[in-house]
Amino acid sequence: MEEQDKNIQFKISNELIEKVELLVNSQDDKTILELLNDYHHADIAEILEELKTEQSTYIIKLLDSEKTSDILMEMDDDDREKILASLSIKEIAEEVEELDTDDAADIIAELPEERQEAVISQIEDEEHKAEIQELLTYDENTAGSLMAKELVSVNENWTVTECVKEMRAQAENVTRVHSIYVVDEAEKLIGRLSLKDLLMASPRAHISTVYIPKVDYVKVFEDVEDVAKIMQKYDLEAIPVVDENKILLGRITIDDIVDVIKEEADKDYQLAAGITQDVEADDSIIELTKARLPWLFLGLIGGIGAFIIMEGFQSSFEKYAVLFFFTPLIAAMAGNVGVQSSAIIVQGLANDDVKGSINNRLIKEMLLAALNGVILALFLFGFVWATKGDFLTALAISVSLVVVIIIAGLIGTFVPLFLDKKGIDPAIATGPFITTSNDIFGILIYFWIAKLILGI
Amino acid sequence: MEEQDKNIQFKISNELIEKVELLVNSQDDKTILELLNDYHHADIAEILEELKTEQSTYIIKLLDSEKTSDILMEMDDDDREKILASLSIKEIAEEVEELDTDDAADIIAELPEERQEAVISQIEDEEHKAEIQELLTYDENTAGSLMAKELVSVNENWTVTECVKEMRAQAENVTRVHSIYVVDEAEKLIGRLSLKDLLMASPRAHISTVYIPKVDYVKVFEDVEDVAKIMQKYDLEAIPVVDENKILLGRITIDDIVDVIKEEADKDYQLAAGITQDVEADDSIIELTKARLPWLFLGLIGGIGAFIIMEGFQSSFEKYAVLFFFTPLIAAMAGNVGVQSSAIIVQGLANDDVKGSINNRLIKEMLLAALNGVILALFLFGFVWATKGDFLTALAISVSLVVVIIIAGLIGTFVPLFLDKKGIDPAIATGPFITTSNDIFGILIYFWIAKLILGI
């Protein structure tokens, strides 16, 4: 039972990776097979990700396609792409043959266009081929793109005995049964049977007398994020997918939804940090630059904007150089408050927690920002007055701080709500976008108010 | 089949909420019961969250405890707390009686301490009571705190027929069966039976001949985040929990793990945005201030630090005022680069993607930051030279920008890696913490280098 304790410390050790490398280099196929036989495909995927592409391809070609198809599915997109590029059309078709339709379609969609058709034409199982071709027609981010064709469905006219017999046949192709869907003669979804109910039903009962007519489902063109929300809300582990006429097309399982939730969270996090594309720490410097540089450039433009504003006030404030020394403070506070308020709205929108009108939101944020602003400004006032001894300067700086914080909070609240209303992902409003615009507005407001109070 | 189409547009309409409010105010119990009967408990929970506490408590008292216990579990912690506070000990005990042990323990743990004991003593089912008491002993964030005692387990010595009979009895208490765990005489976990296998096995076969000896499990004191990683990695929908001697104690299901993943992602996102406590857009201004003010205060201290640095360079201000006008730009770039690099590391650590040594990471980030820095600096150099016509100033500002970006990237990379090594949550290093320290370092480095180049 070695496998079991390995799962507990589920990180692959460097020793193991080195051992596999050595075995591959010495082409000791027998020992490789023996060694890897003990490991779960998710673990083997992790090992392969650490090897050079030639080495991992060597292992993929060595192992059985039943196992390698699962391994490939567990690997990072980039690493998988490299391996697929060194496999022949026929070898890829063999992997695809072993996979469930949803995974098969995903793999094919990742291939260069010219190889896609070739791989599909090599799939021997005609039904599998047709199902994969159907799945490839659905747009990314729709329920159809996430569903698998594998499911267990029974006809309402069958008896429990017939149903169990049919299910045995169908279940061979289905990794996890979850629910049994009940359809009418036209394949229209009319209800479900739980395995538990089936276990307890009399063998001669007709399905029409034991099935549950209430069944949650989603339409095939539904957005995947909405599917994720529905499955989370109703604690579903699988949901059937139907077309406009309620004809049963496939089903989505919770493991795919977990991936959607993770990806969505990762994307929002990256946007908030000013990283556009989906990159990982291990991506190339070019990839990382593509994801990071545009936002930095935005920040640079913002900084130049701040420079122009400050230069414009240069003549007015020759006597008050001290005001210029507080611009980083003002910019930082405007940025921080903006990020805080936008993050709360973005997260609230993602969780459907934001209720009430935009006006109420803005009034609440104004009060909140005013409260925080006054507390911070009192502290700053004390500092400036104590160190500079100039009441009016201290007053000008701290009053500006309060106003800047309030306006930054309002911008941070308004922008994501506005984007959301316009159908644009509000997550884009967090991070550098809000920081940069708040920097500029903050500094501008700061000098205006200082000018007013100091009577320049 | 009204229920079905409602799920598709799963947001509760304002009309419905107003209707329920009116019905509650006119105490039209019959119509309330009829109306709500069509709704899923997760939908009713959403409706109740929109009502005043007296109104939602009224509905909770009206409905059957079998239904209300599920509704309560779906509600926000805050809203649930308010309703529980207006229920009697006996009423709470009735809700707890209906819940699975994990949910029951969660509800009790949320109660004020003096009510906890009272509620437990009112639970009539002695086994349920003992199981809840056991669950309450496990620390938060351990597998034990997340598991439920409800599961289906069979003895290796039973036949398939005995097993099915036993399972029927056990399954009555288990919402979703998932796997069937196989134990020996001492209740030690030795394997599993899949429902699918059971469906296909001969009725007279002994369990010991059909069970799968490979079974993933976690120990009861395992960290929940690690449990989440294991279940995600191995695509598990349920995992058994055992004690040090492998005695089967309970199991954790994927729906609880989805919640853990969501909460973890939300927490990291909030930390990156400078929000400490777990707050929502709908929380009170005081709650939101508690979560936001500390980080803003940190930013204020940083701004005062920047002020002190700039004041130290004041003597240069008269001749090189332009340098001071670029401090917001320098601070913004230092902050943005720091947030980007720390976010990538934090996310990589969370996903176990960060491989290799700290030194390699730092070298990579240095190259990346240098590349980005040079591109940005060339642009800035062009701008300053074109508008100011002063080669040396343009050079000083752009060279400093490159150095500041490199150092900001290194700090952003190093701090989360260092925190992680020390066992501190690296997510704390993103957001205001890194922005503030990078602001100060950035401005300091900027003036030093400018001084060096301009020979001030």
Q: A2 and chain B: CB distance < 8 Å anywhere?
A: no
Whether residue B353 has pLDDT greater than 50 = yes
- Asked if residue B405 and residue B323 are part of one domain, the reply reads yes
Q: How far is CA B20 from CA A259, B5, B298, in A?
A: 37, 20, 46
Instruction: Report the C-alpha gap between B378 and B383 in whole angstroms.
Output: 9
Q: A361 and chain B: CB distance < 8 Å anywhere?
A: yes
- Asked if residue A161 and residue A130 are part of one domain, the reply reads no
Predicted confidence (pLDDT) per residue in A113-168, tens digit: 889 999 999 999 999 999 999 999 999 889 999 999 998 899 999 998 888 888 87
Please give the residue of chain B at the shortest CA–CA distance from A10: B230
Q: Which pTM does this prediction carry? A: 0.81
Whether residue A294 has pLDDT greater than 70 = yes
> How many domains does the structure of chain A reveal?
3
In chain B, positions 171-200, which contact chain A (CB-CB < 8 Å)?
171, 174, 176-177, 195-196, 199-200
What domain range includes position B353?
Answer: 285-454
The residue with greater pLDDT, B16 or B283, is B16
Q: A396 and chain B: CB distance < 8 Å anywhere?
A: no
The number of beta carbons lying within 10 Å of the beta carbon of residue A17 is 17
Q: What is the dihedral of CA B162, B168, B174, B180, to 10 degrees?
A: 30
Tell the burial category of A108 from Cβ atoms under 10 Å away from its Cβ (0-12, 13-18, 19+). Answer: buried
Q: Please tell me the predicted confidence (pLDDT) of residue B391.
A: 92
Per the listing, tokens 């709470």 go with: B92
Residues of A in contact with B343 (CB under 8 A): 269-270, 272-275
A117–chain B nearest CA distance, Å: 30
Q: A288 and chain B: CB distance < 8 Å anywhere?
A: yes
* CB-based contact B336 A262, cutoff 8 Å: no
* CB-based contact A364 B285, cutoff 8 Å: yes
Of A80-89, A261-270, A300-309, the poorest mean pLDDT is in: A261-270
Instruction: Report the C-alpha gap between B180 and B194 in whole angstroms.
Output: 6
The bridge status of strand A238-242 relative to strand A248-253 is antiparallel
Q: Which of A199, A160, A159, A211 is nearest to B165 (CA)?
A: A199
3-class DSSP assignment, residue A403: helix
Residue A298 in domain: yes
- Asked if residue B309 and residue B227 are part of one domain, the reply reads no
Take residue A109 and report the two structure tokens written for it: 């969609």
Predicted confidence (pLDDT) per residue in A53-64, tens digit: 999 999 999 998
* CB-based contact B11 A269, cutoff 8 Å: no
Q: B339 and chain A: CB distance < 8 Å anywhere?
A: yes
Q: Please tell me the predicted confidence (pLDDT) of residue B224.
A: 92
Which amino acid, residue B416? P
Instruction: Report the C-alpha gap between A10 and B222 in whole angstroms.
Output: 12
- Asked if residue B239 and residue B131 are part of one domain, the reply reads no
What average pLDDT does this structure show over A338-343?
90
Tell the burial category of A184 from Cβ atoms under 10 Å away from its Cβ (0-12, 13-18, 19+). Answer: middle
Nearest residue, CB atoms, B289 vs list A196, A368, A430: A368
Q: Please tell me the predicted confidence (pLDDT) of residue B374.
A: 96
What average pLDDT does this structure show over A211-222?
92
Whether residue B299 has pLDDT greater than 50 = yes
Which among A206-210, A361-365, B371-375 has the top mean pLDDT? B371-375
Q: Please tell me the predicted confidence (pLDDT) of residue B142.
A: 94
What average pLDDT does this structure show over A297-313?
92
Q: What is the dihedral of CA B242, B247, B253, B259, to 10 degrees?
A: -30
Residues of B in contact with A311 (CB under 8 A): 322, 325
Of B141, B170, B199, the residue at which a domain comes to its end is B141
Nearest residue, CB atoms, A254 vs list B74, B254, B327: B254
What average pLDDT does this structure show over A373-377?
95
Residue A50 in domain: yes
Burial readout A63-96 (b: 16 or more C-beta within 10 A, e: otherwise): bebebbbbbbbbbbeebbebbbeebeeebbbbbb
Whether residue A2 has pLDDT greater than 60 = no
Please give the residue of chain B at the shortest CA–CA distance from A439: B328
Q: Which of A339, A433, A434 to mutate to test the interface with B (most CBs of B within 10 A)?
A: A339
CATH label of the domain that carries residue A134:
1.25.60.10
Q: Please tell me the predicted confidence (pLDDT) of residue B10.
A: 55
Residue B266 in domain: no
- Asked if residue A208 and residue A132 are part of one domain, the reply reads no
Residues of A in contact with B219 (CB under 8 A): 8
Residue A258 in domain: no
- Asked if residue B33 and residue B96 are part of one domain, the reply reads yes
Residues of A in contact with B182 (CB under 8 A): none
Which amino acid, residue B205? A
CATH label of the domain that carries residue A199:
3.10.580.10
Residue A269 in domain: no
Q: Which of B4, B220, B222, B239 to mutate to test the interface with A (most CBs of A within 10 A)?
A: B4
Take residue B338 and report the two structure tokens written for it: 């720091």
Of B55-69, B108-122, B352-366, the poorest mean pLDDT is in: B352-366
Residue A33 in domain: yes
Q: B325 and chain A: CB distance < 8 Å anywhere?
A: yes
A121–chain B nearest CA distance, Å: 30
Residue A278 in domain: no
Residue B168 in domain: yes
Chains A & B: contacts with CB separation below 8 Å: 350
Q: Please tell me the predicted confidence (pLDDT) of residue A7.
A: 43
Predicted confidence (pLDDT) per residue in A406-451, tens digit: 999 999 999 999 998 888 888 887 778 888 889 899 999 999 999 8
A148–chain B nearest CA distance, Å: 16
The CA-based diameter of chain B, rounded to the nearest angstrom, is 97
Which amino acid, residue A85? A
Residues of B in contact with A297 (CB under 8 A): 376, 379
- Asked if residue B437 and residue B336 are part of one domain, the reply reads yes
- Asked if residue B175 and residue B242 are part of one domain, the reply reads yes
Q: What is the DSSP letter of B12?
A: P
Q: A284 and chain B: CB distance < 8 Å anywhere?
A: no
Q: B330 and chain A: CB distance < 8 Å anywhere?
A: yes
Average pLDDT score, chain A: 88
Q: A127 and chain B: CB distance < 8 Å anywhere?
A: no
The CA-based diameter of chain A, rounded to the nearest angstrom, is 97
Instruction: Report the C-alpha gap between A102 and B239 in whole angstroms.
Output: 24
Q: How far is CA B191 from CA B90, B218, B237, in A?
A: 41, 13, 16
Which amino acid, residue A441? F
Whether residue B236 has pLDDT greater than 80 = yes
- Asked if residue A167 and residue A122 are part of one domain, the reply reads no
Instruction: Report the C-alpha gap between A12 and A43 in whole angstroms.
Output: 7
- Asked if residue A163 and residue A122 are part of one domain, the reply reads no
Instruction: Report the C-alpha gap between B400 and A52 in whole angstroms.
Output: 39
Of A253, A271, A300, the residue at which a domain comes to its end is A253
Q: Please tell me the predicted confidence (pLDDT) of residue A278.
A: 76
Q: How confident is the model at residue A193 (pLDDT cuts 50, 70, 90)?
A: confident
Residues of A in contact with B221 (CB under 8 A): none
Q: How confident is the model at residue B11 (pLDDT cuts 50, 70, 90)?
A: low
Instruction: Report the C-alpha gap between B413 and A279 in whole angstroms.
Output: 15
Q: What is the rounded end-to-end Cα distance, in angstroms, of chain A?
A: 81
- Asked if residue A292 and residue A249 are part of one domain, the reply reads no
Q: Which of A307, A390, A433 to mutate to test the interface with B (most CBs of B within 10 A)?
A: A307
3-class DSSP assignment, residue A247: strand
- Asked if residue B170 and residue B116 are part of one domain, the reply reads no
Whether residue B162 has pLDDT greater than 50 = yes
> What is the rounded radius of gyration, in angstroms, for the C-alpha atoms of chain B?
30
Average pLDDT score, chain B: 88
The residue with greater pLDDT, B227 or B7, is B227
Predicted confidence (pLDDT) per residue in B240-257, tens digit: 999 999 999 999 998 888
Instruction: Report the C-alpha gap between A199 and B260 in whole angstroms.
Output: 32
Interface predicted TM-score (ipTM) of this complex, two decimals: 0.80
Nearest residue, CB atoms, A325 vs list B233, B254, B310: B310
Of A393-397, B9-13, B111-115, B424-428, the poorest mean pLDDT is in: B9-13
Take residue B40 and report the two structure tokens written for it: 């899923």
Q: B322 and chain A: CB distance < 8 Å anywhere?
A: yes
* CB-based contact B355 A4, cutoff 8 Å: no
Per the listing, tokens 């069966």 go with: B177
Q: How confident is the model at residue A10 (pLDDT cuts 50, 70, 90)?
A: low
Q: How confident is the model at residue B8 (pLDDT cuts 50, 70, 90)?
A: very low
Of A87, A106, A140, the residue at which a domain comes to its end is A140
* CB-based contact A199 B355, cutoff 8 Å: no
Predicted confidence (pLDDT) per residue in B97-142, tens digit: 999 999 999 999 999 988 999 999 999 999 999 999 999 999 988 9
Tell the burial category of B379 from Cβ atoms under 10 Å away from its Cβ (0-12, 13-18, 19+). Answer: middle
B112–chain A nearest CA distance, Å: 26
Take residue B334 and report the two structure tokens written for it: 């230092």
CATH label of the domain that carries residue A392:
1.10.357.20
